[in-house]
Amino acid sequence: MEKKDNITVNNTFKSESSFNKIQGPIFIGRTWQEYMKMFNLDLKELKGLKILDCAAGASSFRGHTAKYGVDVTAVDLIYNEKADDLCVKCKEHLKLLVESLKKVQDKFVWKFFSDPDDLEFAREQACKEFVSDFNSYKGEHYIPADIQNLPFEDKSFDLVLCSHLLFIYDHRLSYEFHLNAVLEMLRVCKGELRLYPLVKNMGVKSEFVASIIADIPDVKMELVEVDYEFRKGGNEMLRIVKI
Ligand SMILES: C[S@@+](CC[C@H](N)C(=O)[O-])C[C@H]1O[C@@H](n2cnc3c(N)ncnc32)[C@H](O)[C@@H]1O
């Protein structure tokens, strides 16, 4: 295993090639519809569950599902910032993402979104829904925290989700970070943890997936095919069930 590093996540994404103008973490958010597909979720089945979305960014998953009575807590490293600042950051990062995507459009699967402009429009809507919900529930349902040190009691959540933080940045975030994050999410979870995606850029599965499967005891792990693919080959999630 790699030596433990002390990732200052503020520079985690600094040198990510497509986003090299960005200082600090990439702060964007997927739509709630993407979450449903990435994690094989059904709105009806979520009611009554306590759900944690880790590294939730500017996703509309919490805000939208809350309207249907679903109990979601969202955690992100930079939720201590003001809503207006997060909104500006999200818009800037989304613009850079779309500019980058237009240059490498053929490397992605345009099934959920028809093209980069369609993606931009949908993610802008997600950001608006996020900002409105964040303004109402900051500190209550939006908690600033590092994924490696979550401010919750053991077994607080039935379902924990983590989208687009682990595995895709395995050239920036060490294996130690991945292991700590997964163990910490499992600590606060009493049911199951779902991780998506498992591939990094160019559709290659992260080598950390096999290591995580090998290194975590007393759980049931399953690779599950999902009806969502944006990065080529990225149509699988890792489901980790506590036993
Ligand atoms: C690419 S965004 C993904 C957002 C959302 N999960 C989605 O799929 O749309 C990654 C998020 O991880 C957050 N993040 C980065 N490092 C973190 C850490 N150590 N703990 C908690 N959140 C972190 C960033 O602030 C950013 O919002």
Which residue's alpha carbon is nearest to atom 10 within ligand 1? 165
Mean pLDDT of 44-53: 97
Whether 2 is covered by a domain: the verdict is no
Print the domain residue range for 211. 9-242
- The pLDDT tens digits for 7-38 are 333 333 344 445 556 666 789 999 999 999 99
The verdict on the CB of residue 77 being under 6 Å from ligand 1 is yes
Q: Which of 23, 27, 24 is nearest to 95 (CA)?
A: 27
* pLDDT surpasses 90 at 45: yes
Considering the domain boundaries, does residue 189 fall inside one? yes
- How many residues are present in the chain? 243
CA 147 to ligand 1 centroid distance, Å: 9
**What pLDDT sits at residue 197?**
97
**Is 127 touching ligand 1 by the criterion CB < 6 Å?**
no
Average pLDDT over residues 170-183: 95
pLDDT digits (tens, 9 = 90+) for 103-141: 999 999 999 999 999 999 999 999 999 999 999 999 999
Distance between CA atoms of residues 132 and 129, nearest Å: 5
Which CATH number covers residue 229?
A: 3.40.50.150
Q: Give the Å distance between the CA of 141 and the centre of ligand 1.
A: 16
How many domains is the chain partitioned into structurally? 1
Q: Among 157, 186, 174, which Cα is nearest to 211's?
A: 174
Is 223 inside any structural domain?
Answer: yes
Tokens of 88: 């500006």
Is 158 among the domain residues? yes
Handedness of CA 157, 130, 224, 185 (dihedral sign): negative
What average pLDDT does the segment 221-228 reach?
A: 98
230 pLDDT above the threshold of 90: yes
Average pLDDT of the chain?
91
